[in-house]
Structure 1
Amino acid sequence: MDTLLSLRVFAEVAEHKNFSAVAERLNISPAMTSKHVKHVEARVGARLLNRNSRNVSLTEAGAQYLLTIRPLLDGLAEAEAQLTSDRLSPRGTLRMSVPVWMSNPAFAKILTAYHQQNPHVTFDVDLSGRKINMVEEGVDLALRVAFKLDEGLIARKLAEVTFQLLAAPSFLDRFGRPETSADLNNAPMLAYSQVAADGRLKFGGEDGIDVKLRPILVSSNESILHQAAVAGMGFAMLPNWAAQDDVKDDRLEAVLPNVAWPKLHIQAIYADRSYLPAKVRSFLDFLAGSDGFPAVLK
Structure 2
Amino acid sequence: MKAISYRSYGGPEVLEYGELPDPKVGPDSVLVKVKAAAVNPVDWKAQAGYLDGALDAVFPVVPGWDVSGVVVQPGADVQEFAVGDEVIGYVREDFLSRGTFAEYVAAPVRTLARKPANLTFEQAAGLPLAGLTAYQSLVKALRVAQGQTVLIHAAAGGVGSMAVQIAKHLGARVIGTASERNHDYLRGLGAEPVVYGDGLADRVRALAPSGVDAVLDLAGGEALTVSPGLLAEGGRLASIADPSVLGLGGRYVFVRPDPSDLTALTELAESGALTVEVAEVFPLEKTAAAQRLNAEGHTRGKIVVTVP
TM-score range, shorter chain: under 0.3
State the TM-score, normalizing by the size of structure 2: 0.22
More strand by percentage:
2
More helix by percentage:
1
Q: Considering only CA atoms, is the larger Rg found in Structure 1 or Structure 2?
A: 1
State the TM-score, normalizing by the size of structure 1: 0.23
